[in-house]
Structure 1
Amino acid sequence: MDRTDTDLIIAGGGLAGATLALALAREVPTLRVTVVETFPLSPEALPADYQPSYDARSTALAWGSRLIFDALGLWPELSRHATPIRHIHVSDRGRFGATRLHARDHHQDALGYVADNRWMGLCLMRALQDTSVRWRAPAEVLDMMPGESGVEVTIREQGEQQILTGQCLVVADGGRSGLREKLGFVTHTERYGQNALIANVTTSESHRFTAYERFTDSGPMALLPHDAPGEPGHQSALVWTLNDEALAEILALSDEGRCQRLQDRFGWRLGRFTRIGECHHYPLALTTVDAPVRSGVALVGNAAHALHPVAGQGFNLALRGLMTLVEQFRNAHEQGRSIGELSVLGAYEQHHRQDWQQTVRFSDSLIRVFGQSLPVVAAARDAGLVGLDMIPGAKRWFARQAMGTGGRKPVLSSSNRSGRKAVPNGQQNG
Structure 2
Amino acid sequence: MNRFDTDIIIAGGGLAGATLALALSRVVPSLRVTVVEAYPLSTDALPEDYQPSYDARSTALAWGSRLIFEELGLWQRLSEHATPIRQIHVSDRGRFGATRLTAEEHGQAALGYVADNRWMGLSLMRELQGTQVQWRAPAEVLGMSSQAGGVSVAVKAGEDVVQVSAQCLVVADGGRSGLRESLGFQARHDNYGQNALITNVSTSDSHRFTAFERFTDAGPMALLPGGAPGCPGHQSALVWTLSDSALEALLGLDSEGRCQRLQDRFGWRLGRFTRMGEVSHYPLKLTTVAEPVRPGVALVGNAAHTLHPVAGQGFNLALRGLVTLVEQFQIGVEQGRPLGDLGVLGGYQRAHQQDWQQTVRFSDSLIRIFGQASAPLAAARDAGLMGLDLLPGAKRWFARRAMGVGGRKPVIRGHGVGTGTEPAHHE
TM-score by length of 2: 0.97
Aligned match of 1:242:
242
Aligned match of 1:427:
422
Q: Tell me if the contact between 1:409 and 1:425 (Cα under 8 Å) persists in the aligned partners.
A: yes
Q: State the distance in 2 between where 1:186 and 1:122 align.
A: 33
Q: State the distance in 2 between where 1:203 and 1:391 align.
A: 33
Closer, same or farther in 2 for the Cα pair 1:133/1:71, shift >3 Å? same
SS in 2 for 1:382: helix
Aligned match of 1:54:
54
SS in 1 for 2:407: coil
Q: State the distance in 2 between where 1:425 and 1:188 align.
A: 29
Residue 232 of structure 1 deviates from its aligned partner by 5.4
Q: State the distance in 2 between where 1:210 and 1:425 align.
A: 23
Q: Which amino acid aligns with 2:201?
A: V
Aligned match of 2:304:
304
Closer, same or farther in 2 for the Cα pair 1:289/1:9, shift >3 Å? same
Quote the sequence identity (%): 72
Q: State the distance in 1 between where 2:28 and 2:232 align.
A: 40
Q: Tell me if the contact between 1:405 and 1:428 (Cα under 8 Å) persists in the aligned partners.
A: no
Q: Tell me if the contact between 1:4 and 1:149 (Cα under 8 Å) persists in the aligned partners.
A: no
1:196 counterpart = 2:191: no
1:384 counterpart = 2:384: yes
Q: State the distance in 2 between where 1:230 and 1:425 align.
A: 26
Q: State the distance in 2 between where 1:185 and 1:45 align.
A: 35
Closer, same or farther in 2 for the Cα pair 1:386/1:267, shift >3 Å? same
Aligned match of 2:177:
177
Q: State the distance in 1 between where 2:172 and 2:148 align.
A: 24
Q: Which amino acid aligns with 2:280?
A: H
Residue 96 of structure 1 deviates from its aligned partner by 0.2
Closer, same or farther in 2 for the Cα pair 1:424/1:124, shift >3 Å? closer
Matching of residues 31-430 of structure 1 within 5 Å: 31-44=31-44, 47-228=47-228, 233-413=233-413, 415=414, 422-423=417-418, 426-427=421-422
Residue 332 of structure 1 deviates from its aligned partner by 0.5
Q: State the distance in 2 between where 1:291 and 1:227 align.
A: 40
Q: State the distance in 2 between where 1:203 and 1:302 align.
A: 32
Q: Tell me if the contact between 2:107 and 2:423 (Cα under 8 Å) persists in the aligned partners.
A: no
Q: RMSD value over aligned CA atoms?
A: 1.6
Closer, same or farther in 2 for the Cα pair 1:203/1:426, shift >3 Å? closer
Output one character per residue of 1:128-172: Cα deviation in whole Å (capped at 9) or x when no partner: 000000000000000000012300000101220001000000000
Residue 41 of structure 1 deviates from its aligned partner by 1.2
Q: Tell me if the contact between 2:82 and 2:229 (Cα under 8 Å) persists in the aligned partners.
A: no
Closer, same or farther in 2 for the Cα pair 1:422/1:348, shift >3 Å? closer
Output one character per residue of 1:282-337: Cα deviation in whole Å (capped at 9) or x when no partner: 00000001110011000000000000000000000000000000000001012211
Q: Which amino acid aligns with 1:49?
A: D
Aligned match of 1:7:
7
Q: Tell me if the contact between 1:9 and 1:166 (Cα under 8 Å) persists in the aligned partners.
A: yes
Q: Tell me if the contact between 1:221 and 1:238 (Cα under 8 Å) persists in the aligned partners.
A: yes
Closer, same or farther in 2 for the Cα pair 1:78/1:230, shift >3 Å? closer
Aligned match of 1:28:
28
SS in 1 for 2:340: coil
Q: Which amino acid aligns with 1:339?
A: L
Uncovered stretches (5+) of structure 1, i.e. residues with no partner: none
SS in 1 for 2:30: coil
SS in 1 for 2:44: helix
Q: State the distance in 2 between where 1:230 and 1:385 align.
A: 30
Q: How many pairs does the alignment contain? A: 425
Q: State the distance in 1 between where 2:46 and 2:352 align.
A: 33
Q: State the distance in 2 between where 1:225 and 1:58 align.
A: 10
Uncovered stretches (5+) of structure 2, i.e. residues with no partner: none
SS in 2 for 1:53: coil
Closer, same or farther in 2 for the Cα pair 1:405/1:174, shift >3 Å? same
Output one character per residue of 1:355-402: Cα deviation in whole Å (capped at 9) or x when no partner: 000000000000110001000010011100010110000000000110
Q: Tell me if the contact between 2:408 and 2:420 (Cα under 8 Å) persists in the aligned partners.
A: no
Q: State the distance in 1 between where 2:37 and 2:45 align.
A: 14
SS in 2 for 1:43: coil
Q: State the distance in 2 between where 1:79 and 1:357 align.
A: 30
Closer, same or farther in 2 for the Cα pair 1:144/1:315, shift >3 Å? same
Q: Which amino acid aligns with 1:259?
A: C
SS in 2 for 1:131: coil
Q: Which amino acid aligns with 1:345?
A: L
Closer, same or farther in 2 for the Cα pair 1:175/1:422, shift >3 Å? closer
Residue 46 of structure 1 deviates from its aligned partner by 5.1
Residue 32 of structure 1 deviates from its aligned partner by 0.5
Residue 3 of structure 1 deviates from its aligned partner by 1.1
TM-score by length of 1: 0.96
